[in-house]
Chains A and B, each alone.
Chain A
């Protein structure tokens, strides 16, 4: 029963805290961390078991890397090799060196300093990847660089595990058992070899051989064995068995890697990559995803719950000072590396701020370092707390990035905005999927168009296909001015970011009242929003496309193509009428009761309109002209000498 009550407490904390944190824009990671602090040190509901739970929850990281691997085809990984080795390698080596140096200055033995340096060089894969994913930043340059570095770090854990025992200087672990890391590395007090128990007895070269063989085996089995197995299981149509198989695979690989002393996360990552171009990729993803999410959440909870408040309140300034110092140093190094690797303004900030904390692997390695005697206990307790605090502060850094730095940094990007040397009758800002179609229509129709986009990649790609695009941030008034917005007839705003879009439209409407503004809107409410700030025409981005597909659906369902067309037009007309009718309602009180009532009424009218030809009233609003007149003589009521029929 204790298990259930613990589970209840943990789940309860998560269910309460995470939605609130999300609503406040803090992200789920911070929500979990705060929930952990509340149930741990603050309320004291959970306590001693957190370390054990944490070891269990670290499995979430393993699953996360499996999922990341699934997303990465081998070809993509190969393309990243420069970043992995260059950026990632430099980060690990550089940060290790700097922290080791600092350790020496503070009087640590060189062995201890090196161990500490290596441990602090790692960042939190769990927090960073989860956040990047949640915010949709993983595909940005900053996100990609962060990912490369995290991956390199995970690989670097292997040599670190090998080296740590060599750095033992005789701090014999007093309570090593407590720090045993659940990965099978515990208990090698001063042992000379890395690897799991099973291999400890083998000589170095044999261990290397076994490790190599295991990796090859994973790749070969993944390619040739797993697919038929998954097909067999899938054909059984037992969903839970498929899920079980997926879990079995991940756990099995984790155990295997553990057995040979490699990072389980790395092993499952490898398995993920191998399976990334298989047919079952998406099913595997959706099966593992919830487990990963919950375990990671649990992990963050335990980090929060595991904070030693006595130690913290004993020397708050020292602890926070160390944590902030740690982050400042890592940030400075990362920022420098970002500059070296030509990361642009906001991307460099995302990269440097995001990775500035120490990671969960630190807990594992601290345990290992403690049991192998590389670091002494009091330092370890302090540093464990420092690492936890730095992780706790990370979501705040992401918020800082999102709310303060990203909006400004993009304006102060290293790349100077292009000098706009051509003029046209039209300025288009935003060359995403939407803006591109408009620009092509106008350009091929022979109009001069000045195009602005703030993504260097897009600008480059478009210039490759011969569409001249200027680089620049459309939210900058001076840039809009040099683009000649004052002299054009049309300003077309097609920026993806909803708020930016509204902002730009508002600025242009106020500054250049003579320019006609056409704007792309996210949805009906955005139409009203844009109209209210001065857009003359706002078009919902997916509306017409959805109608077109819907019309084809009617045809596929057996409808006559022309009736499908008519019905779709009828629907469209009604929707536009509704757009007009609801405008005042929305502007008065937003989505309130009267708005919803009006919408309901409209929905009912629409039902009536669309249903007409199912009933008796053949001669009604729909398809008016194409409905036959009532049965009988259509010319009834005409003069006696009237014609036979119409036409």
Chain B
């Protein structure tokens, strides 16, 4: 059994159609600690010691957020700047995060074809999220492909929200149960909403 930490960032959860419902899904999964960063630190006064202690406690770290300017909402950057400290996460004595699993659970406004060499962004999602991947590498964490819902603005109207929530539920449960095919998930471009390929069958470990 792995302990999963979902760090959720959305500055207007009351207006969120997808991310907040996903956060609610995460809260309901056993073995998952789901934290609303904007609620915990409305003044951005991040308690570094508490956050570091929480990280040490968990095996899987998930940043759940909408994609803002090809990155996360600002509190997540602030959190990274403060919590992933020299001597804790990296540097000479910084080994506290070694071997933990890290992934982004994101939603994008644009359709999937915008995230390709030929598309509007001239790059796929995973390469746009390179700063997160490099951060994970530097902290010796295992970086998985992003779990993404494209075109989130129309997801509710198109009936995709519940499908995605179920997939998120599956993903989190698989992570808790150590049943995610990590090698495959590391190599993939994106963890799609068809997760079956990534989830290991058979006995619980």
Residues of A within 8 A of B (CB): 569, 573, 619, 624-626, 629-630, 634-639, 642-643, 646-647
Is B81 in contact with chain A by the CB < 8 A criterion? Answer: yes
Least Cβ distance of A632 to chain B in Å?
Answer: 10
Contacts of B138 in A (CB 8 A): 635, 638, 642-643, 646-647
On whether the beta carbons of B91 and A634 are closer than 8 Å, the reply is yes
Q: In the bound complex, what is the Cα–Cα distance between A423 and B39 (angstroms)?
A: 29
User: Chain B 53-86, CB within 8 Å of chain A: the 1/0 string?
Assistant: 0000000000000000000000000100111011
Nearest chain B residue, comparing its CB with the CB of A639: B140
For the complex with contacts A619-B87, A636-B92, A637-B93, 4 further pairs of A-B residues with Cβ separation under 8 Å are: A634-B86, A639-B140, A646-B138, A647-B131
A-B CB contact pairs (8 Å), 21 listed:
A569-B43, A573-B45, A619-B87, A624-B85, A625-B48, A625-B81, A625-B85, A634-B86, A637-B93, A637-B94, A637-B95, A638-B90, A639-B140, A642-B138, A643-B134, A643-B137, A643-B138, A646-B86, A646-B138, A647-B131, A647-B134
Name the B residues within 8 Å of A569 (CB-CB). Answer: 43, 45
Q: Return chain B residues, CB-CB under 8 Å to A626.
A: 81
> B: which residues have CB within 8 A of A?
43, 45, 48, 78, 81-83, 85-87, 90-95, 131, 134-135, 137-138, 140
Contacting A635 at CB < 8 Å: which of B81, B85, B90, B95?
B90
The answer to whether B91 touches A636 (Cβ under 8 A) is: yes
Task: Let me know if A646 and B90 touch, CB within 8 A.
Answer: yes
A632 (CB) vs chain B CBs: closest residue: B92
Residues of B near A624 (CB, < 8 A) are: 48, 82, 85
Known: A636-B91, A636-B92, A637-B91. A647 touches B48 (CB 8 A): no
Task: Report, nearest first, the 4 A-B pairs whose CB atoms are least far apart.
Answer: A625-B82, A629-B86, A637-B92, A625-B81
Number of A-B contacts (CB under 8 A): 48
B94 proximity list for chain A (CB < 8 A): 637
By the criterion CB–CB under 8 Å, are A635 and B48 in contact?
Answer: no
What's the nearest-Cβ distance from chain A to residue B171, in Å?
Answer: 27
With beta carbons under 8 angstroms apart, the residue of B86, B95, B140 that contacts A630 is: B86
Main secondary structure of the interface of B (DSSP, over half): mixed
Q: How far, in Å, is A622 (CB) from chain B's closest CB?
A: 11
Chain A interface, >50% SS class = loop
How many angstroms from the CA of A626 to the CA of B135 in the assembled complex?
17
Chain A residues contacting B95 (CB-CB under 8 Å) are 637
> Are B92 and A647 within 8 A (Cβ)?
no
Taking the closest CB of chain A, its distance from the CB of B44, in whole angstroms, is: 9
In the assembled complex, which residues on chain B have CB atoms less than 8 Å from the CB atom of A637?
90-95
CB distance from A646 to the nearest CB of B (A): 6
Chain B positions within 8 Å of A639 at CB level = 140
In the complex the two chains form, what is the Cα distance from A646 to B45 in whole Å?
22
Chain A residues with CB below 8 A from B140, complex form:
638-639
Query: With A and B bound together, what is the CA distance between A619 and B87 in angstroms?
Result: 10
Q: Chain B nearest CB: distance from A600 CB in Å?
A: 24
A294: shortest Cβ distance to chain B, in Å? 52
Which chain A residue shows the least CB distance to B79? A625
Quote the shortest CB–CB distance from B97 to chain A (angstroms): 12
* C-alpha spacing A332/B162, complex, angstroms: 81
Least CB distance from B54 to A in Å reads 16
Nearest-neighbour CB distance to chain B for A392, whole angstroms, equals 59
Tell me which of B85, B92, B93, B95 has the highest count of chain A C-beta atoms within 10 A of its own C-beta.
B92
Cα–Cα, bound, A569→B85 (Å): 20
Asked if B91 and A635 sit within 8 Å, CB to CB, the answer is: yes
Query: Measured between C-beta atoms, what is the minimum distance from A278 to chain B in Å?
Result: 47
- Bound form: Cα–Cα A647–B94 in Å: 15
Chain A residues closer than 8 Å to B134, beta-carbon distance: 643, 647
Complex contacts, A646 vs chain B, CB 8 Å:
86, 90, 138
CA distance A573 to B81 in the complex (A): 19
Contact A629 B81 (CB under 8 A): no
Check if A619 sits within 8 Å of B86, measured CB to CB: yes
Q: Whole-angstrom distance from the CB of B98 to the nearest CB of chain A?
A: 10
> What separation, in Å, do the CA atoms of A569 and B134 have in the docked complex?
31
CA distance A566 to B83 in the complex (A): 16
Q: How far apart sit A569 and B78, CA to CA, in the bound complex (Å)?
A: 15
Chain B residue nearest in CB terms to A628: B86
Q: Which residue of A lies closest to B138 (CB)?
A: A643
- Complex: chain A residue closest to B92, CB-CB: A637
Bound-state Cα–Cα, A619 to B140, Å: 22
| Chain A residues near B92 (CB-CB < 8 A) | 636-637
Q: In the complex, A636→B94 CA distance in Å?
A: 10
Residues in A whose Cβ lies below 8 Å from that of B81? 625-626
Max count, chain A CB within 10 A of own CB: residue among B43, B86, B93: B86
Residues on the B chain within 8 Å of A629, using CB: 86-87, 91
* A227–B94 alpha-carbon span in the complex (Å): 72
A635–B140 alpha-carbon span in the complex (Å): 12
Residues from chain B with Cβ under 8 Å of A630 in the complex = 86
Q: Which residues of B contact A647 (CB under 8 A)?
A: 131, 134-135, 138
How many angstroms from the CA of A619 to the CA of B48 in the assembled complex? 14
CB distance from B40 to the nearest CB of A (A): 15
Query: Closest B-chain residue to A642, C-beta based?
Result: B138
Q: How far is the CB of B100 from chain A (nearest CB, A)?
A: 16
Given the complex of chains A and B, what is the CA–CA distance between A419 and B43 in angstroms? Answer: 41
Q: Which residues of B contact A636 (CB under 8 A)?
A: 91-92
How far apart sit A113 and B12, CA to CA, in the bound complex (Å)? 83
Contacts of B78 in A (CB 8 A): 625
Chain A: CB-nearest residue to B43? A569
Q: How far is the CB of A312 from chain B (nearest CB, A)?
A: 69
For A643, the chain B residues whose CB sits under 8 A away are 134, 137-138
Nearest-neighbour CB distance to chain A for B149, whole angstroms, equals: 27
CB distance from A568 to the nearest CB of B (A): 11
How far does the alpha carbon of A625 sit from the alpha carbon of B80 in the complex, in Å?
9
- Smallest Cβ distance from A302 to chain B, in angstroms? 62
Q: Across the interface, which residues of B come within 8 angstroms of A642, CB to CB?
A: 138
Inter-chain contacts of A635 with B (CB < 8 A) = 90-91, 138
Closest to B85 in A: A624
A383 CB to nearest chain B CB (Å): 70
Shortest distance between the CB of B201 and any CB in chain A (Å): 33
Give, as a whole number of angstroms, the nearest-CB distance from B134 to chain A: 6
* C-alpha gap A258/B26 in the complex (Å): 90
Q: Report A-chain residues with C-beta under 8 Å of the C-beta of B135.
A: 647
A543 to chain B, nearest CB (A): 15
Chain A residues near B86 (CB-CB < 8 A):
619, 629-630, 634, 646
* Cα-based distance from A630 to B81 in the complex (angstroms): 16
B39 to chain A, nearest CB (A): 17
The smallest C-beta distance from A634 to any residue of chain B, in angstroms, reads: 6
